[in-house]
Chains A and B, each alone.
Chain A
Amino acid sequence: MEQRQLLSGNEAIARGAWEAGCGFGSGYPGTPSSEILPALAELGDCYTEWSVNEKCALEAAAGAAIVGARCLVTMKHVGLNVAADPLFTLAYTGINGGLVVVSADDPSMHSSQNEQDNRHYARAAKVPMLEPASSQEALDFTKLAFEISERFDTPVLLRVTTRICHSHGVVSVGERSVKQPACPPQPQVAKYVMLPVHARQRRALMAQRVASLRRYVESAQVNRREAGDPAVGIISAGVAYQYAKEVCPGASFLKLGMTWPLPEQMIRDFAASVQKLYVIEELDPYLAEQVQAMGVAVTPLPESLQEGELNPERVKAALEGSPPGPQSAPDLPARPPQLCPGCPHRGVFMALHRLRLFVTGDIGCYTLGALPPLQALHTCMCMGAGVGQIHGINQACGAGQRAVAVIGDSTFVHSGITNLINIFYNNSPSVVIILDNATTAMTGGQDHPGTGRTLHGGPGRKLDLAALCQGIGIRHVQTVDPYDFKQTQAAIKAAVERDEPSVIIASRPCVLLSRQRGRPFVVDEESCTQCGVCLQVGCPAIISSPTAAGRRQPQIDPLLCSGCGLCAQVCPQDAIRQAGDTA
């Protein structure tokens, strides 16, 4: 085994958990956290699973921890909203086996619907939090998190951000030491049954735990002072520390690795040793406000720094009090992401576009259906929400609404099912279209209960989505092939006209999954009238160039075309044919 490896932050977390003897890893995919569990599975000798959602993942881990297994639970920042319910009470019961929750935050929303700062969760739930600043620290802090978790009998939050998760660095790796769980579980009612009478006792114990954590953190190696110029002192943590070091290598630093609870005495001593104190942090003024609340003066920084990802330029400008430098040339056309050529979602959005329906949407690749030219998705809030919104719209407006919901298969299983039951129970005439592409495509193609494969790629039990919807009691459940445009459009039209709940399952695997390519299509420029209908399909393989007559001549890039044939189905002149076919 090579001792020096190039690991992403996510791989380093997996390695750290593996070395710490982690025996149970669970989570739900979400950028930027998705690569941690597959890396842990790859290292082997540890049970890992994709759970149905983040709450399921944390609750299963809480069980494994009762018998002493060390558990790693991974999710993106918004996933912790879903898992917050168990987290807050898990902080009361304690864990027994070490339990580390990874929250991967996404400043700048590179692949997220919001930019929440999950450091607040540590403070709100009173669980210790570690924040690594590099791949090496991601490995080391994960191991330390397990130690702290067991020593203080508490879940520990490992808070990372996109730049930590997806940056690679050189890491020294170590060996694995395993701990066997103690089965069967022994009842400890006052610890695990949170009746008010027990919860009050645990609340008091929690206060004692926090007090010992505050003592521990004052001397913990994970926080360190770096001597430098006493004129400028910088308190920082996570990747923000790296940016501050990059632009101010000579300053004095207090580098925090544990950011809840804070080492108050250490902070006071550091502040007293420097003339001007700065707190450099990404997103909310989480550290700065706590330092100020201690009565320590912090040099104010522009509020604009709280929005979006930091970088060396922004940190430099903030420290120098100057505006950040110029960004890239502004006159260039943007390159927004698009549904892939041959994406099975496209047929559904083409139909929704033509039927001029209001579409409550959700999160996944299919959210791209909101962009031009399809523009057939009109809401996206949080996972599962579209199925709730369609019900609300229909109940508020009364019957006869021209609105439907779309939801991806993974998202439906994660949090759409309960809303569908709500539709059924409250008898709302809502149409829900499940976009079943047999994977969790947006986050890189992970399996889920509907695919019938597990995290290890092995066979699992396959959830039958149609049977599930019928089992709920929905009478109209129809499966269509989204490559068949006519069938898809007709099914949606019929469902909208019905005064009853219906489900349409548009079933066709993601092209990145099937990797099947048909023969590419070509535009016969003789019969093409340049009407532009095929350009409205929004396929990256269909490019166009201006003609002398001021119209646009479409052409199909044979390297990009997947051969799905949707454009040919809508061309009014039958001018699009499969290569090799004759008119």
Chain B
Amino acid sequence: MTTNVLMAGVGGQGVVTASAVVARAALLAGWEVKKSEIHGMSQRGGSVVSHVRLAPDGEIFSPIIPAGEVDLLIGFELLETLRALSYARRGAHIIVDPRRIPPAPVSLGLAEYPDDALQRIQEGDYQVHVAAGTTVAAQLGEVRAANSVLLGAASRLLPLPAEAWQQALRLTLKASIVQVNLEAFNRGREFVPQPAG
């Protein structure tokens, strides 16, 4: 069975690093994994999505998740979460950081930010977990660790062993920021209740 994880955010928020951690954790657990995202223009503050597909065994074909088959959507920002929502299947888990980053057209007064974004996400047929990643990371003194908070929350929903997560964080991040990210990861676990069964 393939599990499909989609991450959505804004360039500079660490979406690609976070998806690298998930993919590496899956590799360390001996799983099959494919991950895909688009570099380039998106890094200059544009929208970024990263697809990760993992399976304990068997082959994964497409590196991108078919629309409507996302099992877990990790949203780093409200507008971007809303934009990616149609990729989630009914009943999917959504982890969302209730953070707002207004895009240029909004700052220029040419468009409106959807103020009801969180409400629209919560109204859908999903299991929504609001995880204040940015707030917690700021409390820890490193806003850039917000992505690790969200990964901590995700670790409650993905059946990968705890050591694989920790090791993946250590291997993916610069040594100087590993500790604060491990802390952020642990704090993130509190945002999702222990899954039943």
Contact = CB atoms under 8 A, between A and B. Distances in A.
Contact of A552 (B36, B40, B109): B109
Interface in B65-104: 66-68, 79-80, 82-87, 102-104
B35 interface: yes
B10 interface: yes
A333 B111 contact: yes
A313 interface: yes
Interface in A441-469: 442, 444
A334 interface: yes
Interface string B32-76: 111111111111111100000000000001111011100000000
Nearest to B27: A6
A365 to B, nearest CB: 7
Contacts of B35: 6, 167-169
B113 A246 contact: no
A169 B27 CA distance: 9
A166 interface: yes
Contact of A535 (B24, B45, B107): B107
Interface residues of A, number: 56
A177 interface: no
Contact of B44 (A32, A239, A312, A365): A365
A442 B43 CA distance: 9
A250 interface: no
Given A337-B44, A540-B104, A6 B10 contact: no
A242 B65 CA distance: 11
Given A111-B40, A313-B66, A328-B86, A538 B27 contact: no
B161 interface: no
A332 interface: yes
Interface stretch (A185-193, A258-266, A470-478, A542-550): A542-550
Contacts of B34: 167-169
Nearest to A169: B34
B79 A335 contact: yes
Contacts of A338: 44-46, 104
B105 interface: yes
A32 B104 contact: no
A123 to B, nearest CB: 27
Interface string B152-193: 000000000000000000000000000000000000000000
Given A242-B63, A334-B105, A166 B36 contact: yes
A274 B175 CA distance: 56
Q: How large is the interface on B (under 10, 10 to 19, 20 to 34, 35 or more residues)?
A: 35 or more
A340 interface: yes
Contacts of B68: 325
Nearest to B80: A335
A247 B62 CA distance: 9
B112 interface: yes
Contact of B27 (A4, A331, A365): A4
Interface in A1-49: 4-6, 31-32
Contacts of B104: 335-336, 338, 371-372, 538, 540
Given A110-B40, A163-B36, A337-B43, A543 B63 contact: no
A163 B39 CA distance: 10
Select the residue from A5, A31, A329, A546 with max chain B CB neighbours within 10 A. Answer: A329
B26 to A, nearest CB: 8
B82 A329 contact: yes
A519 interface: no
Contact of A167 (B10, B63, B108, B114): B63
A372 B111 CA distance: 13
B162 to A, nearest CB: 19
Contacts of A163: 36, 63-64
A168 B23 contact: yes
B14 interface: no
Interface of B: 10-11, 20, 23-24, 27, 32-47, 61-64, 66-68, 79-80, 82-87, 102-114, 143
Given A168-B23, A329-B85, A337-B42, 4 more contacts: A169-B34, A328-B83, A368-B44, A538-B104
18 contacts: A110-B41, A168-B33, A243-B62, A311-B62, A316-B66, A332-B79, A332-B83, A333-B79, A334-B103, A335-B103, A337-B45, A338-B46, A338-B104, A365-B44, A535-B108, A535-B109, A542-B107, A546-B109
